[in-house]
């Protein structure tokens, strides 16, 4: 079985004024291509930290991460950036749209960065698919939270990533809006066959994923029999 | 291309507007001043050259050689010739020893001859700029010649063996010889008449002048070729020796412009730095996002650099255009007011201006932006993460380096730049300390204050760092403006003191001892103030302590005088003045020597000086050294003897008198009564100095306006830096039900307080800066400016209050819901 993502003995320790703080300890997991994985856990349990390590945004203190068959530990920040550009997409809890850019330009940005000549066309296509065809020229502050997150989803999928990381994508939204967003996320995911790693504290959302892992105090609890396949 | 698109989006979202305006302003200041000073210098050079009538003048007792003229022609230099001599001229029974100048076609090569049909005309509408030279058979004459010879314009006079008709009077002419040598009235005749009139006989004392003009590089190259070929009878004159008087005034004028430029650039620099900081703040998230999208740090750096360079290039072009426009406006004003066509500017200032944009960006903006590409991608997941900025020290060092570069290269004045920087360093640290202290006090005061005050003080406390920064920045801006204003005022005042309105504007020479009393009476009768009368003999210094004097200095006759009273602008700096001074063993009379000439001649106190006065020898002992002010345009002497010491040498008297313009024709009466008296019209020189002073101060006024603009920009930049946080807070407070009046009042008080603090610090700092400037740069007396101590804090509080209230108006008056949403 081909794995999209593998982590072994992953650990993260940070140095603070109060001494060393171990946030993550001995994490082992693997995600197959096209699979969806939910990571749940209490606030402060280390979910975001784990996501950062898995996506190559940060470097672990111990252990290794392999993304799309590439060992991230052997790369420097430039190398990891290349991997992200090629394989990874993100959806954040706080949307992370640039306030000075229109919805369309926000979606275009990653495409422009890789020199896509059809950036505008593809971006408007994806915005249409998330139901924002009428809001292309609007700026983020003029959009509701749900609309902003839809723009962010369009941005993530427009790059056609192999794996999508989502950190509490509905955490800032009310439940019915959250529901719409989730439908969109899973719908697009299925269509594109993208691997999905999702952080959430919502049970309902976690249940929509093929597998679930639970973090507690920086360690993985086995939440599902085949956590380590 | 992507960089262009990103730049355009940044512009549209308003994130770089402030930065662009500040950059353009920096370039505008640099280019306006660079271009203007360049043109000013060019103009002054031209004007000085017009005093000479040429770029170079070769004087000799014989005509210049034909080969030289051929060589000059080959090198494309313009040339013409003039011969000066004294000649008796007659009309009826009257005669006068005139100072004749025969000029050839093309004269003058630089400058103009102004003439009139009305004797003693002063009114501009009566004066005409001559085209060419007097026609053959005609002469142009000094107005004073007409009463001397009892003739009128149109009459003929006998010059040598020919008769020439006086057709115009000369009101001004380029003149190579100093005022003291002009003894007779001027007659300007055509070179072609020389032969017919036979005025020049073998053995006549004549001075030939060969005038040359052209591109400066070519002229000086030619002079290098020529000089080795010159004999001891030939002497080269250039503006250096023609225009010593104006040097001091010009130097401080130029320095002032440079100072203003430094301050303008500095203010713009502060605005740029603040704007860049804001830009960086807003772009931290953007960079983190770009990184999470897989953009490398190198690519991000490249993208931002490209944007900044494009921005700098655009701002430079805009700034240069604005600067060029501004200085053109002044040049037009100058042209209109003083009929002086300013010289065109060279290419160097244009190049410098274009360079100053990128340079300002590198020095002031880049340091605050440098950390941006280093923002870690994990920041997208951890919003609370604090991003370390580059070391502050580097920002300061780089900014200073750029400033020194700008001042050094384009102002060519390092001392000045360093003085300003040193003052700023002191101000920076002092202001921070003071601001912290004041804020601490305000917190204690806040506890007992009313609600508006409490709100304001709480706001200041909350943004402690930002508040201190704002106070320091306000203080710097105000200090720079204040110092500039004060320096400008005091400089202009000082210049005016040097040439007071009723300063003597005519020198009267050659008054016989027997005429002195009558003369005094005549002047007093016309209610003219009689200045001191100086006896005067012409003499040559020959030996110092029996050694021949050094050959290279004072190779001409000097005016010797004696007086008991020291003139106001003279000061004894070594030795003793008469009364305290005692004659030595040799029992020689004492002489007081001007300090600079004494230094050049290597004279010490107690030395024995030998003079030759009309063939007779005279000796004196050096009793004191004096300084004097050439700029004062008072009669000044290198050598002043003990009273009575020169009685045996048949002295003639001289004095100076102030003649208001409407009494100018009094000269006519005077000369009819005393035909031998020589009048030198200084008012023309004084007018020239005045013109230059007003040119300089006009330039300065404009520069000041630009600097003021820079100051406002800095204030705006500092205030808008805190706007984002404010909006959120204000929205929250409004949502919690705080009334609008309270919010607005709080903002007013907050900014007025900051402004007041800044005003106090600024006044102290500017006094310190001025002290440095006055002592090291302008060398003018130090005096405190009490009025500013009162005014500055008050004005600054009001101004900053208004500015803050306007800038934050939006944050406190829009409905809270919108504010909260935008602030996300
Ligand atoms: N660089 C760091 N320095 C200090 N503490 C850190 C650092 N990174 C993470 N932490 C701490 O580690 C813990 C885990 O953080 P993390 O953001 O991963 O939690 P989380 O599970 O995502 O919580 P939430 O559900 O609230 O988002 C927190 O207590 C956090 O404060
Ligand atoms: Mg989290």
Q: Is A12 in the pocket of ligand 1 (CB under 6 A)?
A: no
Range name among A39-53, B278-292, B795-809 with the lowest pLDDT average? B795-809
**Is pLDDT larger for residue B62 or for residue B253?**
B62
Mean pLDDT across A143-159: 91
**pLDDT digit string (tens) for B180-226?**
334 567 899 999 998 888 877 766 667 888 999 888 788 888 988 98
Quick one: pLDDT band at residue B499, thresholds 50, 70, 90? low
SS (H, E, C) B228-273: HHCCCCCEEECHHHHCCCCHHHHHHHHHHHHHHHHHHHHHHHHHHH
Contact B161, B198 (CB under 8 A): yes
Q: Does A75 touch chain B (CB under 8 A)?
A: no
- Nearest-atom number in ligand 1 for the CA of A43 is 25
pTM over 0.80: no
| Ligand 1 center–CA A109 separation, angstroms | 29
Is residue A17's pLDDT more than 80? yes
pLDDT at A155: 93
**pLDDT digit string (tens) for B544-556?**
988 888 776 776 6
Quick one: pLDDT band at residue B241, thresholds 50, 70, 90? very low
**pLDDT digit string (tens) for B40-69?**
777 766 666 666 778 888 888 788 888 999
Task: Give B406→chain A minimum CA distance, Å.
Answer: 35
| Ligand 2 center–CA A210 separation, angstroms | 21
Nearest to B294 among A52, A86, A92 (CB): A86
**pLDDT digit string (tens) for B324-339?**
888 887 777 666 665 5
pLDDT at A225: 42
Quick one: pLDDT band at residue B134, thresholds 50, 70, 90? very high
Which ligand is nearest the CA of A45, by number? 1
Q: Does B377 touch chain A (CB under 8 A)?
A: yes
Range name among B162-166, B246-250, B505-509 with the lowest pLDDT average? B246-250
For B111, the 3-state DSSP assignment is coil
pLDDT at B176: 39
* Phi, psi of B461, rounded to the nearest 5 degrees: -65, -45
**Is pLDDT larger for residue B49 or for residue B476?**
B476
Name the percent of chain B in helix, strand, coil, to the closest 5: 55, 15, 25
Report the Cα–Cα distance between both ends of chain A, in Å, rounded: 10
| Ligand 2 center–CA B690 separation, angstroms | 75
d(C-alpha A108, C-alpha A127), whole Å: 10
pLDDT at B595: 87
d(C-alpha B116, C-alpha A221), whole Å: 110
pLDDT at B574: 87
Q: Is A42 in the pocket of ligand 1 (CB under 6 A)?
A: no
Q: Is A23 in the pocket of ligand 1 (CB under 6 A)?
A: yes
pLDDT winner (highest mean) among A59-63, A97-101, B438-442, B478-482: A59-63
* Whole-Å CA distances, B230 to B63, B65, B226: 12, 10, 7
Residue having the nearest C-alpha atom to atom 29 of ligand 1: A44
Across all residues in chain B, what is the average pLDDT?
A: 79
Q: Does B244 touch chain A (CB under 8 A)?
A: no
Residue having the nearest C-alpha atom to atom 26 of ligand 1: A43
Contact B468, B462 (CB under 8 A): no
Name the percent of chain A in helix, strand, coil, to the closest 5: 40, 30, 35
Is residue B776's pLDDT more than 90? no
Is residue A124's pLDDT more than 90? yes
Range name among B275-289, B493-507, B591-605 with the lowest pLDDT average? B493-507
pLDDT at A202: 82
Mean pLDDT across B679-698: 65
**Share of residues in chain B with pLDDT > 90 (%):** 11
d(C-alpha B65, C-alpha B58), whole Å: 11
Residue having the nearest C-alpha atom to atom 18 of ligand 1: A46
Residue having the nearest C-alpha atom to atom 8 of ligand 1: A49
d(C-alpha B748, C-alpha B456), whole Å: 8
**Is pLDDT larger for residue B684 or for residue B422?**
B422
**Is pLDDT larger for residue A87 or for residue B123?**
A87
Q: E-strand spans in B120-205?
A: 127-129, 138-142, 156-159, 162-172, 186-190
Nearest to B186 by CA among B140, B147, B148: B140
Per-residue tokens: B256? 């002032």
**Is pLDDT larger for residue B423 or for residue B432?**
B432
Quick one: pLDDT band at residue B179, thresholds 50, 70, 90? very low
- Cβ neighbour number for residue B479 with a 10 Å cutoff: 29
DSSP state of B777: I
**Share of residues in chain B with pLDDT > 70 (%):** 80
B298: chain A residues, CB-CB within 8 Å: 78
pLDDT at A198: 92
Is residue B244's pLDDT more than 50? no
Is residue B795's pLDDT more than 80? yes
**pLDDT digit string (tens) for B456-467?**
777 777 777 777
**Is pLDDT larger for residue B170 or for residue B216?**
B170
Q: What burial letters (b/e) apply to B257-270, b meaning 16+ CB within 10 Å?
A: bbbbbbbbbbbbbb
Is residue B691's pLDDT more than 70? no
pLDDT at B494: 60
- Residues paired with residue B102 on neighbouring β-strands, in sequence order: B83, B189
**CB–CB of B821 and A99 under 8 A?**
no
pLDDT at B689: 60
pLDDT winner (highest mean) among A29-38, A212-221, B84-93, B242-251: A29-38
**Is pLDDT larger for residue B534 or for residue B531?**
B534
CA angle B485, B767, B418 (to 5 degrees): 85
Per-residue tokens: B787? 């009025």
pLDDT at A178: 85
Quick one: pLDDT band at residue B254, thresholds 50, 70, 90? low
**Is pLDDT larger for residue B484 or for residue B142?**
B142
d(C-alpha B364, C-alpha B28), whole Å: 16
Is residue B558's pLDDT more than 80? no
The domain segmentation of chain A, as residue ranges, is 3-227
Nearest to A100 among B13, B289, B294 (CB): B13
Is residue B790's pLDDT more than 50? yes
The β-bridge relationship of strands B534-544 and B547-548 is antiparallel
Q: E-strand spans in B351-429?
A: none
Nearest to A52 among B290, B294, B378 (CB): B378
* Whole-Å CA distances, A8 to A1, A23, A27, A52, A62: 17, 16, 6, 15, 9
Contact A67, A163 (CB under 8 A): yes
| Ligand 1 center–CA A37 separation, angstroms | 20
**pLDDT digit string (tens) for B340-393?**
666 777 788 888 888 888 888 888 888 888 888 989 998 888 877 888 876 677
- Residues paired with residue B187 on neighbouring β-strands, in sequence order: B100, B141
**Share of residues in chain A with pLDDT > 90 (%):** 49
pLDDT winner (highest mean) among B618-622, B628-632, B653-657: B618-622
Q: Which CATH superfamily is domain A3-227 in?
A: P-loop containing nucleotide triphosphate hydrolases (3.40.50.300)
* Whole-Å CA distances, A148 to A99, A169, B291, B658, B724: 11, 11, 20, 83, 20
Is residue B89's pLDDT more than 70? yes
d(C-alpha B578, C-alpha B467), whole Å: 64
Per-residue tokens: B106? 């093309």
Q: Does B774 touch chain A (CB under 8 A)?
A: no
Residues with Cβ within 8 Å of residue A56, at least 6 apart in sequence: A65, A67, A72, A75, A80, A83, A84, A88
Is residue B695's pLDDT more than 90? no
Per-residue tokens: B340? 């002086």
Quick one: pLDDT band at residue B86, thresholds 50, 70, 90? confident
Cα B13 versus chain centre, distance: 43
Nearest to A141 among B298, B299, B821 (CB): B821
**CB–CB of B383 and A58 under 8 A?**
no
């Amino acid at each position: 079985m081909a794995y999209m993502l593998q982590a072994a003995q992953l650990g993260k320790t940070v140095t603070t004024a109060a001494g060393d703080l171990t946030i993550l300890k001995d994490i082992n997991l693997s995600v197959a291509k096209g699979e969806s994985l939910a990571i749940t856990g209490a606030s402060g349990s280390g979910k975001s930290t784990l996501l950062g390590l898995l996506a190559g945004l940060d470097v672990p203190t111990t252990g290794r991460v392999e993304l799309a068959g590439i060992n991230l530990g052997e790369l420097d920040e430039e190398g990891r950036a290349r991997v992200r550009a090629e394989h990874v997409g993100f959806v954040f809890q706080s949307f992370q749209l640039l306030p000075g850019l229109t919805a369309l330009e926000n979606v275009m940005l990653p495409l422009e960065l890789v020199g896509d000549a059809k950036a505008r066309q593809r971006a408007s296509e994806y915005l249409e698919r998330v139901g924002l065809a009428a809001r292309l020229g609007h700026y983020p502050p003029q959009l509701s939270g749900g609309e902003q997150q839809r723009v962010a989803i369009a941005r993530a999928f427009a790059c056609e990533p192999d794996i999508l990381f989502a950190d509490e994508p509905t955490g800032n939204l009310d439940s019915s809006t959250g529901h719409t967003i989730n439908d969109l996320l899973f719908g697009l995911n299925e269509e594109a066959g993208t691997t999905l790693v999702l952080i959430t504290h919502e049970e309902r959302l976690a249940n929509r994923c093929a597998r679930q892992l639970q973090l507690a105090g920086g360690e993985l609890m086995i939440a599902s029999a085949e956590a380590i396949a | 291309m992507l960089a262009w698109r990103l730049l355009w989006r940044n512009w549209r979202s308003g994130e770089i507007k402030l930065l662009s305006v500040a950059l353009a302003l920096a370039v505008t200041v640099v280019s306006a001043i660079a271009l203007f000073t360049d043109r000013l210098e060019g103009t002054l050079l031209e004007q000085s050259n017009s005093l000479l009538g040429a770029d170079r003048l070769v004087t000799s007792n014989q005509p210049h050689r034909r080969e030289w003229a051929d060589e000059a022609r080959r090198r494309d230099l313009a040339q013409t010739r003039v011969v000066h001599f004294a000649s008796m001229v007659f009309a009826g029974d009257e005669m006068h020893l005139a100072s004749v100048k025969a000029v050839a076609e093309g004269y003058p090569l630089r400058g103009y001859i102004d003439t009139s049909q009305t004797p003693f005309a002063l009114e501009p509408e009566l004066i005409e700029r001559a085209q060419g030279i007097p026609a053959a058979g005609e002469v142009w004459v000094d107005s004073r010649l007409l009463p001397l010879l009892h003739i009128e314009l149109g009459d003929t006079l006998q010059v040598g063996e020919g008769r020439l008709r006086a057709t115009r009077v000369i009101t001004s002419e380029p003149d190579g010889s100093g005022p003291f040598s002009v003894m007779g009235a001027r007659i300007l005749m055509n070179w072609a008449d020389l032969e017919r009139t036979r005025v020049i006989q073998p053995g006549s004392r004549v001075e030939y002048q060969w005038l040359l003009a052209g591109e400066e590089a070519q002229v000086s190259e030619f002079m290098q070729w020529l000089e080795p070929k010159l004999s001891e009878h030939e002497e080269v004159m250039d503006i250096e020796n023609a225009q010593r008087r104006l040097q001091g005034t010009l130097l401080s004028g130029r320095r002032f412009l440079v100072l203003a430029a430094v301050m303008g650039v500095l203010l713009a620099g502060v605005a740029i730095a603040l704007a860049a900081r804001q830009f960086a703040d807003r772009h931290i998230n953007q960079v983190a996002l770009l990184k999470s999208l897989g953009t490398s740090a190198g690519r991000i750096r490249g993208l931002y650099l490209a944007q900044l360079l494009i921005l700098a290039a655009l701002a430079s072009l805009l700034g240069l255009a604005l600067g060029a426009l501004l200085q053109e406006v002044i040049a037009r004003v100058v042209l209109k007011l003083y009929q002086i066509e300013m010289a065109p500017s060279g290419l160097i200032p244009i190049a410098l201006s274009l360079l100053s944009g990128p340079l300002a960006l590198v020095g002031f903006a880049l340091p605050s932006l440098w950390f941006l590409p280093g923002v870690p991608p994990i920041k997208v997941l951890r919003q609370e993460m604090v991003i370390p900025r580059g070391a502050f020290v580097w920002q300061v060092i780089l900014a200073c380096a750029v400033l020194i570069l700008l001042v050094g290269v384009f102002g060519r004045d390092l001392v000045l730049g360093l003085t300003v920087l040193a003052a700023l360093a002191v101000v920076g640290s002092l202001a921070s300390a003071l601001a912290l202290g004041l804020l601490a006090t305000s917190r204690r005061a806040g506890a007992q204050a009313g609600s508006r005050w409490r709100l304001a003080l709480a706001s200041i406390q909350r943004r402690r760092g930002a508040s201190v920064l704002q106070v320091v920045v306000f203080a710097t801006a105000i200090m720079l403006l204040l110092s500039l204003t004060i320096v400008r005022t005091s400089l202009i005042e000082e210049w005016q003191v040097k040439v007071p309105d009723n300063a003597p504007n005519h020198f009267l020479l050659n008054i016989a001892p027997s005429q002195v009393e009558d003369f005094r009476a005549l002047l007093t009768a016309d209610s003219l103030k009689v200045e001191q009368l100086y006896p005067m003999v012409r003499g040559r210094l020959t030996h110092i302590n029996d050694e021949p004097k050094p050959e290279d200095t004072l190779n001409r006759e000097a005016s010797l005088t004696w007086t008991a009273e020291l003139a106001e602008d003279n000061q004894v700096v070594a030795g003793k003045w008469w009364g305290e001074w005692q004659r030595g063993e040799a029992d020689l009379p004492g002489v007081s020597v001007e300090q600079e000439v004494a230094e050049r001649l290597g004279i010490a106190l107690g030395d024995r000086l030998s003079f030759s006065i009309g063939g007779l020898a005279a000796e004196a002992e050096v009793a004191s050294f004096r300084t004097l002010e050439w700029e004062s345009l008072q009669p000044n002497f290198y050598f002043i003897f003990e009273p009575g010491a020169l009685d045996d040498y048949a002295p003639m008297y001289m004095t100076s008198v102030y003649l208001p313009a409407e009494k100018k024709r009094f000269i006519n009466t005077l000369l009819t009564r005393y035909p031998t008296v020589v009048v030198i019209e200084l008012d023309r020189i004084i007018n020239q100095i005045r013109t230059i002073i007003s040119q300089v101060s006009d330039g300065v006024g404009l520069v000041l306006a630009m600097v003021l603009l820079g100051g406002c920009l800095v204030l705006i930049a500092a205030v808008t830096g805190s706007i984002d946080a404010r909006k959120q807070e204000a929205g929250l407070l409004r949502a919690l039900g705080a009334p609008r009046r309270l919010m607005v009042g709080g903002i007013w008080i907050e900014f007025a307080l900051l402004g007041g603090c800044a005003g106090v610090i600024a006044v102290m700092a500017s006094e310190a800066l001025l002290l440095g400037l006055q002592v090291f740069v302008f060398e003018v007396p130090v005096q405190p400016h009490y009025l500013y101590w009162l005014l500055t804090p008050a004005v600054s509080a009001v101004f900053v209050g208004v500015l803050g209230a306007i800038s934050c108006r939006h944050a406190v008056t829009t409905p809270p819901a919108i504010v909260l949403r935008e602030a996300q």
